[in-house]
Structure formats: C-alpha cells, structure tokens
Amino acid sequence: MTVQAGSRYHDSPVLVLSVNDQLRQVIGIGPQVPYAFIFQSYQVTGTDRLDTLAFDFYGDETKWYAIADANPEVLDWTNMPVGTIIRIPNLI
C-alpha cells in the first residue's frame, strides 16, 4: 500500500495485520499535524461519486483522496445524502 503524497496520512505508518488468517495492510496512527486548506463548498446531488467529483474538479479521478481528506466527517462515501454540503479543497 502506498499512501498518496499530499494526503493527511502521508506520514502515517502502514501496518500489516493478520485478520482471519489473511494479511491486510492498514494505515496506522501517525503524528498529529495541523491541517488547513482553502476550499469551496459543494452540495451533493443524487449522482455524485467521489471519483467523478475528483474528475469534475481536478480533471483526475485518482485525486479522490483530497476530497475524502477534506471531509473526515463523511464515513460512507457510497451513501452521501442528497443536499449534504462537502468541502472541495483547492489543489495547488
């Protein structure tokens, strides 16, 4: 597993755990660092997905992690209620 550069998890350790006799990689707890960014607000529609939002805003669906990082309160990106306001960070 590679943690994307620019992600708030970039400096976190990647751990290997045994779960039901299968090895899994997980992101461990890393150092706490201040996290500030410039963003615009966006209201979720019924057709939004994290990858398509990344493509719409950044032209690259693989930058989905930037939106996820900016919205840690969203626990399930597969079930975003219509009308939810999320932050879309400006990538520099």
Is there a contact between 16 and 23 (Cβ–Cβ < 8 Å)? Answer: yes
pLDDT value for 5? 75
Assess if CATH 3.10.350.10 describes domain 36-89.
yes
Alpha helices (H) in the chain, listed in sequence order: 50-58, 64-70
Show me where the domains of the chain are located: 1-32, 36-89
pLDDT single digits (tens) 57-91: 999 999 998 999 899 889 888 888 999 999 999 98
pLDDT value for 75? 85
Taking the mean position of all CA atoms in its chain, how far away is CA 46?
19
pLDDT single digits (tens) 1-32: 666 777 767 778 888 989 899 998 887 877 77
pLDDT value for 56? 97
